[in-house]
Structure 1
Amino acid sequence: MTVQFETSEYEIGGVHTVVKAIGKGKPVLFLHGAATLEGFDFAEGLSDRFRVYCPSHPGMGYSGDAPHVSGSMDIIIHYLNLLDAMDFPEKPHLIGFSMGGWLATELAAVAGDRFDRVVLLAPAGLNDPDHPATDLGSIAPQDLPGFLAHDPKVALQYFPDGSDPAFAEKFGADRAREGETVGRICAPFGMGHPNLSRMLARIANPALVVWGEEDRLLPASQMPLWVEQLPNGQALLIEGTGHLLLQEQPDSVTKIGDFLAGQTP
């Protein structure tokens, strides 16, 4: 059964910005990773308690092109402007996954007063040499599903299987478009910021860092580095799970919802 989202559209600084939303309750803003191939269906697991808003980054997913983007700050400004346009009646929670975790960190560091609780899911951005991320360029395309999920079948469902040439063509075009945008976001410093650990100290919000124990892209050994720098941070390690932890372990969505609701995850 296909998850039914409501769609809103905004013009933000000349960028046609599409936001998918589901559920009722306190708002949650979700920032996706460096691709949108897995979609937003996980949000259904939060929809009984929260109204989850899933925008596509400028130049990615459902949103329009953004040729002006030349670094993460352009994305931060975009989301500050989007928050103004959406005009939530109360402070939303903020969730960021992978690259979106890096962007959520910068966003919360400069505008933490605009959010309630913060959740960082296998966040990118620290680039600690003792806990290196896997170089995506070193992964053969056929091996990528095994790096995205501990059980490759979880990731394979989002990839072309050869049965639908039109889907395969669109998949390739979408990944190329998103990859070009990600390249411009990462142009100044790579996937992250050299002072990101210093930014974490500014995030006074209650924060939860979640990681899949078997993450082959961003090692879970990074998790303490994040939690130690967050003034009100705590950790949640998901066993037997890779990078796509929301898709591979649906129970993690419930635990994240518990944290957002003020309960112990």
Structure 2
Amino acid sequence: MPRIELSAGPVDYEDTGGEGPALVFGHGMPMSETQWRKVVPLLDGYRCVLPTLPLGGHRQPMNPDADLSQRGVSLLLGEFIERLGLDQVTLVLNDWGGGQFLVSEGRAQRLARMVLVACEAFDNFPPGPAKAMAQVCRVPGGVWLLTRLMAIPAFRHNRAGYGGMSLRGIPDEIMDDWFAPATRSRAIRKDLAKFATGAPDRKTLLAWSERLREFDRPVLVVWATEDRLMPREHGPRLAKLYPQGRLIEISSSSTLIPEDQPERLAEVLTDFLVQTGAKPARLAD
């Protein structure tokens, strides 16, 4: 897997390459690029770039002084896009919504459009049940305890936690891979704690959200009808916030739409890309 050294430390990524328009995918905590493993193969003709951001599932620890707050990771994502020389990018987010802060930070020049898939928004950082996890991560040894609890099937698959993020269920081998780095590395546990406790207060989050109105390029909001983490009303609210926002709801899915409805998600994503001028390489002519 390729790796790039950024200001905060090393970031691994996958890159399908090719001449098609570039899509950059974000992921949740403590997930990785495998969150999109069912969707990327359905996007033939596009260059899919999938960084594993330092949200706890990353395989190499960040620099000790790295800013891994919501704002810090968002800026790191912008740095990643810039360092790879990507332009006219479609930013695709699911679960973690902090990539939107590239707009509020005035760093969205390389983005041509965004696709927001059942992700954190407004003051929902972290979402509902994850707030308890953030509190655990504030306690010394809390992340270590969390990784041990995640090895217990009854805890791992509890519908009030990660078990509620997918109606189909996240395969154990995928979740093992997501939690393995923090399980084995104290430094990565520290990174995870930084991110999990790095959301600003509600007033700041809402102020940042207001700045999103400045993004005048197309935005597709894809929301799940049976989501336990992202409020149903946030979908239409987000679509209305962005000047060129549009909303599509997908049924029979929870937060991880790439897990529950990958074919439908790939279909609506491709339609949106084509309609907004980002045709796949095979159709570009």
Using structure 1 for the length normalisation, give the TM-score.
0.78
Unaligned stretches of 5+ in structure 1? Answer: 1-6, 161-166
Residue 51 of structure 1, CA deviation: 0.5
What is the count of residue pairs matched by the alignment?
246
Task: Identify the range of structure 1 (176-185 vs 106-115) with the bigger mean alpha-carbon deviation.
Answer: 176-185
Gaps of 5+ in 2: 134-153, 278-285
Confirm or deny that 1:82 pairs with 2:56. no
Identity of counterpart residues, as a percentage?
18
Query: Per-residue CA shift, 1:50-74, capped at 9, x if unaligned?
Result: 1100001136434532232242222
Q: Is the 8 A contact 2:118 2:223 kept in 1?
A: yes
- How far apart are the structure 2 equivalents of 1:14 and 1:133? 25
SS at match of 2:102: helix
Give the deviation of 1:194 after TM superposition.
3.3
Matches within 5 A, 1:47-86: 47-58=43-54, 60-66=56-62, 67=64, 68-86=66-84
Deviation at 1:242, TM superposition (A): 0.7
1:134-171 per-position Cα deviation (integer Å, ceiling 9, x unaligned) = 2233894440353111233x4556345xxxxxx79837
CA 15–41 in structure 1, closer or farther in 2 if over 3 Å, else same? same
TM-superposed CA distance for 1:238, in Å, is: 0.3
Report if the CA contact (8 A) 2:60-2:188 is conserved: no
Q: Distance in 2 between matches of 1:262 and 1:126?
A: 27
CA contact (8 A) 2:26 2:93 kept: yes
Q: Is 253-262 or 198-207 further displaced after alignment?
A: 253-262
In structure 2, the CA distance between the partners of 1:113 and 1:233, relative to structure 1 (3 Å rule), is same
Deviation, 1:43, is 4.1
CA 1:176–1:120: 2 relative to 1, 3 Å = farther
Q: In structure 1, how many angstroms separate the alpha carbons of the residues matched to 2:100 and 2:11?
A: 21
Mapped contact 1:95–1:121 kept (Cα < 8 A): yes
* Correspondent of 1:106 among 101, 104, 108: 101
Residue matched to 2:267? 254
The residue that corresponds to 1:96 in the other structure is 93
Q: Is the 8 A contact 1:45 1:254 kept in 2?
A: no
- Quick check: 1:56–1:62 contact (8 Å CA) kept in 2? yes
1:33, distance to aligned residue in structure 2 (A): 1.2
Take 2:179 and 2:51, find their aligned partners in 1: how far apart are those partners?
24
SS of aligned partner of 2:54? coil
Amino acid at match of 1:32: H
Q: 1:212-258 deviations in whole A, cap 9, x for unaligned? A: 11011212222122112111101110011111101110221221122
Distance apart, 1:40 and its partner CA: 3.2
Q: 1:258 to 1:225 in 2, by over 3 A?
A: same
For residues 75 and 41 of structure 1, the distance between their equivalents in structure 2, rounded to whole angstroms, comes to: 22
CA contact (8 A) 2:156 2:163 kept: no
Q: Partners in 1 of 2:178 and 2:124 — Cα distance?
A: 35
**Structure 2 residue aligned with 1:170, among 180, 185, 189?**
180
Q: Give 1:34 shift.
A: 1.5
Pairing 1:1-265 to 2, within 5 Å after superposition: 7-22=1-16, 24=18, 25-36=20-31, 38-58=34-54, 60-66=56-62, 67=64, 68-88=66-86, 90-99=87-96, 102-109=97-104, 110-127=106-123, 133-136=127-130, 137=132, 140-143=155-158, 144-152=161-169, 154=170, 158-159=174-175, 170=180, 173=183, 180-185=190-195, 186-189=197-200, 193-250=205-262, 251-262=264-275
RMSD between superposed Cα atoms in Å: 3.3
Distance 1:34 1:83, change over 3 A: same
SS for the counterpart of 1:97 is strand
The question of whether the paired residues in 2 share the 8 Å contact of 1:30 and 1:55 is answered with: yes
What SS does the aligned partner of 1:126 have? coil
Supply the AA of the counterpart residue of 2:239.
V
The amino acid across from 1:42 in the alignment is: K
Higher relative CO (Cα under 8 Å, sequence separation at least 6) belongs to 2
Cα 1:198–1:11, aligned 2, differ >3 Å: closer, same or farther?
Answer: same
Contact 1:43 1:52 in 2 (8 A): no
